[in-house]
Amino acid sequence: MDNLSREILEVDVLFVGAGPASLAGSIHLNRLLRSEGIDASIAIIEKASEVGAHSLSGAVIDPKTLIELFPETNIEDFPFEFPVNKEYMYYLSKGMKFSVPFIPKPMSHHGCFITSIGKITRWMGEICEKEGIDIFSGFPGSELLYNDSGNTVIGVRTVDRGIDKSGNKKSDFEAGVDIHAKATLLGEGSRGNLTKILIDKFNLMKDKNPQNWAIGVKELWQLPEEKLTPGFVAHTLGFPLGHSLFGGGWIYTMKNNILDLGVVIGLDYKNPGIDPHHELQLLKTHPWIKKLLEGAEILAYGSKSLPEGGLYSIPKLYVDGAMLIGDSAGFLNGQRLKGIHLAMKSGMLAAESLQEAFNKNDFSEKSLSTYEEKFKKSWAYE
């Protein structure tokens, strides 16, 4: 039993995680409520030291949701790197590459843009702050808060600070804050701690397919000169993963001669010795990749888990007082290799459901269930 004296912060809506889903959802909700003259406080907590710090750079994004969210913004004013101009799919053997003559339509990236997710989230974070949405960076959520009966989410407790590795309080101990909200939206990425707790407590995966997971490992390289044309996108099959591992590699070009290089591997591999990071290092031994990286300098690296189960692995999206958005809910289309636009759309759909909840002053499961109805009527579901 927690008997610490904790500060309580009251807000109307709390988003957990300052990723694309939460940022889009909070902006859309703020504008919807403002248009109806509803004065509501909206807050976002983010575990990283700043917005975008945990958003690994480099992706190809479908601009559809951003155009919907910011209809007043011209496409060239979004912080994209390049439009996709050259697109290839290669089969790699250990020493050669073979161009696949036909790219399946779902995997075609024309009309999409190479972008830095870090830049996109920082840009959206600045818009949030201009519009009066509070962002608290450096505040991870440690546990969900419930009402006395335990069946309604009423907010989130932030992590205690000043704890040693044995769990004992140090001299600089500071108790976390209890943030109370009428509605809490979990957009903390795939396999988020609070999301797992919520899904287990309310059995949100009942009658759903199990989620399938993959991991993406990525490096950013500073090239000494332009070696690929701006807007170049390539995806690879074969080496080094072979035919028994689900996944493949990718290469994107960004501004200032920066190259994105990475692999995605499904986590259903049978060989326990498989190391996704090692597979990326093997990819760099391919003669084509090796030549691209001659004289280059590595800038950053990282990894991210991906929910690739698809439509039938999306959990129930709502309970009393809480909703799931973005990767936390599995909004990723593995066939298109796309999830960012779906994550943002999920945040916007949740916001539209919350607008109705504010009008009724009802944040119960029944009221928030319109979120799933809106999803099934949207282009995202199709």
Does position 82 have pLDDT exceeding 60, yes or no? yes
Does position 2 have pLDDT exceeding 70, yes or no? no
Q: What percent of the chain has pLDDT over 90?
A: 87
- pLDDT, residue 337, reads 84
**Tens digits of per-residue pLDDT, 231-264?**
999 999 999 999 989 999 999 999 999 999 999 9
Is pLDDT larger for residue 26 or for residue 2?
26
- pLDDT, residue 1, reads 46
**Tens digits of per-residue pLDDT, 173-224?**
888 999 999 999 999 999 899 999 999 999 999 999 999 999 999 999 999 9
CA atoms within 13 A on the CB side of 326: 27
Among 51, 46, 81, CA closest to 63? 81
Cα separation, 129 vs 190, in Å, equals 25
Does position 167 have pLDDT exceeding 90, yes or no? no
Q: Which of 50-59, 129-138, 335-344 has the highest mean pLDDT?
A: 129-138
Kindly report which listed range (105-109, 115-119, 219-223, 303-307) carries the lowest average pLDDT score: 105-109
- pLDDT, residue 127, reads 97
Does position 108 have pLDDT exceeding 80, yes or no? yes
Q: What percent of the chain has pLDDT over 70?
A: 99
Establish whether the linkage from the previous residue to 210 is cis, with ω within 30° of 0.
no
Question: Could you please report the per-residue DSSP string of 193-212?
Answer: HHHHHHHHHHTTTTTSPPP-
- pLDDT, residue 57, reads 65
